[in-house]
């Protein structure tokens, strides 16, 4: 089954404790992206990747890191989490990304992160 | 100023009561307008892409339309299973999608 898989589904941590949220897709998509979703603010892009070893900042990159060493994986790293990073996070992928006008995103099921 | 504005924020309908959701946008050079459905606790799921003014697309009880400044998602005779948050997103050339904040739809039996 074609899908985007995120782990963990729920995560509670404390301020300053490094964490990684994993994302994997099995559709051979070149484009992958991370979003956060907050009440009243909607979906905001954190980072995206057009291909292996190619990453770029989205609208809200501060406090986050990503890497794209393999095509299928795109982990989100919080080196020193803070309470304002408490949010619902989504990973998404598409075949080629916004260079193609008909690109639609496939989303994972989300990771609910709470930073205490 | 938000590039994508959705209204209303929330809509409550009786089963069978048709209505429309609105998505207005201010981007220039629109390449595509997308509608997604999001169920509680899940990721958004793609519904439609519209490319040019006058275009329409349908899927079951949903019909999406596009003008030069806005898009409508018409829901005909909705059922409780249509309850969800509906997200609109717009694409400009070579830029990531910009999402609206969504309309939360509740359909009561």
Which of B46, B91, B102 lies at the smallest CB-CB distance from A98? B91
- Tell me which DSSP letter residue A102 carries: T
The size of the A-B interface in CB pairs under 8 A is 55
Q: Which residues of B touch A105 (CB under 8 A)?
A: 36, 44, 46, 97
Closest CA to B89 of B28, B11, B36: B36
Distance, in Å, from the CA atom of B23 to the CA atom of B34, rounded to the nearest integer, reads: 10
Give the pLDDT confidence of B56-101 residue by residue, as tens digits: 999 999 999 999 899 999 999 999 999 999 999 998 876 778 899 9
A90 and B43: CB-CB below 8 Å? yes
Residues 6 or more apart whose CB falls under 8 angstroms from that of A49 comprise A31, A32, A33, A55, A56, A66, A68, A74
Which pLDDT belongs to residue A97?
79
Q: Cis omega (within 30 of 0) on the bond before B8?
A: yes
Phi/psi at A33 (nearest 5 deg)?
Answer: -155, 150
Which of B44, B94, B100 lies at the smallest CB-CB distance from A107? B44
- Cβ–Cβ contact B46 with A under 8 A: yes
Q: Which residues of B touch A107 (CB under 8 A)?
A: 43-45
Distance, in Å, from the CA atom of B66 to the CA atom of A45, rounded to the nearest integer, reads: 25
- For residue B38, the Cα-to-chain-centroid distance in whole angstroms is 11
**Is the Cβ–Cβ distance between B73 and B58 less than 8 Å?**
no
Q: Which residues of B touch A48 (CB under 8 A)?
A: 96
Per-residue pLDDT of chain A (116 residues; tens, 9 = 90+): 889 999 999 999 999 999 999 999 999 999 999 999 998 888 999 999 999 999 999 999 999 999 999 999 999 999 999 999 999 999 999 998 776 766 789 999 999 999 99
- Residue B1 banded pLDDT, cuts 50, 70, 90: low
Which pLDDT belongs to residue A40?
85
Give the pLDDT confidence of B25-49 residue by residue, as tens digits: 987 788 889 999 999 989 999 999 9
Which of B49, B89, B97 lies at the smallest CB-CB distance from A102? B49
Which of B31, B43, B91 lies at the smallest CB-CB distance from A108? B43
B99 and A43: CB-CB below 8 Å? yes
């Amino acid at each position: 089954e074609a899908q985007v898989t995120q782990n963990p589904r729920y995560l509670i941590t404390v301020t300053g404790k490094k964490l990684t949220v994993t994302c994997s897709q099995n559709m051979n998509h070149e484009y992958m992206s991370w979003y956060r979703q907050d009440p009243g603010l909607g979906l905001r892009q954190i980072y995206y990747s057009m291909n292996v070893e190619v990453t770029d900042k989205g609208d809200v990159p501060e406090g986050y890191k990503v890497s794209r060493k393999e095509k299928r994986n795109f982990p989100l790293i919080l080196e020193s989490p803070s309470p304002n990073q408490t949010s619902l996070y989504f990973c998404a992928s598409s075949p080629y990304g916004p260079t193609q006008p008909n690109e639609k995103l496939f989303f994972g099921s989300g990771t609910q992160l709470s930073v205490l | 100023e938000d590039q994508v504005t959705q209204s209303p924020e929330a809509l409550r309908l009786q089963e069978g009561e048709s209505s429309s959701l609105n998505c207005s946008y201010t981007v220039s050079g629109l390449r595509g307008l997308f509608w997604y459905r999001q169920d509680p606790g899940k990721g958004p799921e793609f519904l439609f892409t519209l490319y040019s003014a006058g275009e329409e697309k349908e899927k079951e009880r949903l019909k999406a339309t596009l003008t030069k400044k806005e898009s409508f998602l018409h829901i005909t005779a909705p059922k409780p299973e249509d309850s969800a948050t509906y997200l609109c997103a717009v694409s400009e050339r070579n830029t990531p999608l910009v999402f609206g904040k969504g309309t939360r739809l509740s359909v009561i039996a």
